Structure 1
Amino acid sequence: MTGSDASSSPALSFRLAYVPGVTPSKWVRIWHERLPEVPLDLVQAEAAEVPGLLRERKADAGFLRLPVDRTELSAIPLYTETTVVVIPKDHLVAAAEEVTVDDIADEIVLHPLDDTLDWEQPPGRPAFERPTTTADAVELVAAGIGLLVVPQSLARLYHRKDLTYRTITGTPQSQIALSWPEEATTDLVEDFIGIVRGRTVNSSRGRRPDEAKDTKATKDAQGGRAAKPKQSQKQSGKQSQKPQGAGARRKAGGAAPKSPRSGKPRRRS
């Protein structure tokens, strides 16, 4: 490729989508450390939009909430979120550390259209109408109209000073996964999978094979060069510890002094 062709070609980058409540900063930081030459573009989208972004190749990979259609998209489950109920700070439920669905059976429980929990039957009494978004539902809770059951990450994301939340049991739980188009499992996707799974930089999985070989060759070359001075230092150490003989001492300081004669004295006649 000529210089003009290289300058006219688009820059290689990696597009990562993520749903509200997911914080990808840790993985993004590791990406910048390992692949500083490849920009990573973050694409925040609503939960229902991320699968479409992946199918349309508007994102290379994405963090989303399961379930997802596995016929087109691959997915690696990462972790399960704690489910909480969002309540006003002065609500009776706030006195407990953990509640159950029975504790809010008589309460109006808001069920937004973008709800991320797979309910068979939401708890409590339904509101007159469903809020459009989770953010709208939080505002209604602050107005004293009802309660809201959501993943803890969303309760933190839409936190208000006049609201709090408590862990609730007996409800579905949201599961976060890393997903990407199955037919577009590129080298960069493999690199990001390796980062998310915690593989080291020298692991052959999650890195491009040619980079892994280059890294190993570089390490071997560096190790070979480092071995020589180590050996010479060892030999020089042995030489410095070798005791000097009498001849060496005489050469350095002149003739050695004569030692006094020993034995029995001769008797004089």
Structure 2
Amino acid sequence: MTGSEETPSFRLAYVPGVTPAKWVRIWNERLPGIPLTLLQVPAAEASGLLRAGDADAGLVRLPVDRTFFSAIPLYSETTVVVVPKDHVITAAEEVTVADLADEVLFHPLDDVFDWDTPPGEPAFERPATTEDAVELVAAGVGLLIVPQSLARLYHRRDLTYRPLTDGPESTVALSWPEEATTDLVDDFIGIVRGRTVNSTRGRQAAPASKQTKTAGAAAEKAKRTQKPAAGAKATPGARTARARATGAKSANPAKPAKRGKPRRRS
């Protein structure tokens, strides 16, 4: 390696609520010589970061621009309603959108759901972030609908949440610029898809391996069928094999023994 060459590395962006620890651990086990750098970014900024080439791939929330990005959906989260612990909704195990019709619901500017307005009564303002909206819920002035991971991320002791059975879902995906599908991106795709370390991919030269096996089989067949050189003595095993191959017609069958006339008894 020359002094001008850089050590390869992989930069992975991820949005709040996503936990990449499992995949990072597998990466470090399989590619210990290639450092993986984690970049936590707000959900609204993840797309711009990837477009600018400041990250190789990202764990983001769908939807993404599919004319520019490739995306592999990984999982969908449970949607919950964040409420104060003394709110009447806590009496139920789960709630529906209809149960929220008379409630004030915040719609932060970084809302991860693809809807124009949430159900219920609109709040007096749109908080800048989900974290700000959680603070307003704690103040008792409204409720908030979020993926469960964000409810856990911004957990407060005076708040709780209940599953929303018929609300929208947030899907987490691995995304990257389609024209920048590098070998390292492909390695990470294999990790999130659960490929084993010995799984074959196109760039691992599987066709060459097949050709090698074919050539080896042909050489072995030629070796078995090759005739011995003139004057060379065949081994006992070879003589036995040839005898079996030529069959009984090539052998000289033994003539049956003559039987004499039976003696007459006197």
1:204 to 2:200 alignment: yes
Cα distance in structure 2, aligned partners of 1:53 and 1:110: 27
1:62 to 2:58 alignment: yes
- TM-score (ref. length: structure 2): 0.75
Q: Name the structure 2 match of 1:81.
A: 77
Q: Name the structure 2 match of 1:47.
A: 43
Per-residue displacement from partner, 1:191-226 (whole Å, max 9, x unpaired)? 000000000000013x85169x99xx9xxxxxxxxx
Cα-Cα RMSD: 1.9
Cα distance in structure 1, aligned partners of 2:65 and 2:187: 23
User: Quick check: 115-124 or 34-43, which moved more?
Assistant: 115-124
Cα distance in structure 2, aligned partners of 1:55 and 1:65: 16
Q: Name the structure 1 match of 2:7.
A: 11
Q: Name the structure 2 match of 1:30.
A: 26
AA partner of residue 63 (structure 1): L
1:101 to 2:109 alignment: no
Cα distance in structure 2, aligned partners of 1:40 and 1:121: 38
Cα distance in structure 2, aligned partners of 1:49 and 1:121: 21
Per-residue displacement from partner, 1:25-75 (whole Å, max 9, x unpaired)? 000000000000000000100111111111111100001111100111100
Aligned 8 A contact 2:101 2:119 in 1? yes
Alignment map for 1:85-164 (pairs within 5 Å): 85-164=81-160
Cα distance in structure 2, aligned partners of 1:188 and 1:113: 34
Cα distance in structure 1, aligned partners of 2:44 and 2:105: 22
**Matched length:** 210
Cα distance in structure 1, aligned partners of 2:116 and 2:76: 19
Gaps in structure 1 of 5+ consecutive residues: 218-269
Alignment map for 1:162-201 (pairs within 5 Å): 162-201=158-197
Cα distance in structure 2, aligned partners of 1:79 and 1:126: 30
AA partner of residue 76 (structure 2): T
Aligned 8 A contact 2:111 2:130 in 1? yes
Cα distance in structure 1, aligned partners of 2:154 and 2:91: 21
Gaps in structure 2 of 5+ consecutive residues: 213-266
Aligned 8 A contact 1:191 1:208 in 2? no
Cα distance in structure 1, aligned partners of 2:68 and 2:115: 25
Cα distance in structure 2, aligned partners of 1:61 and 1:128: 37
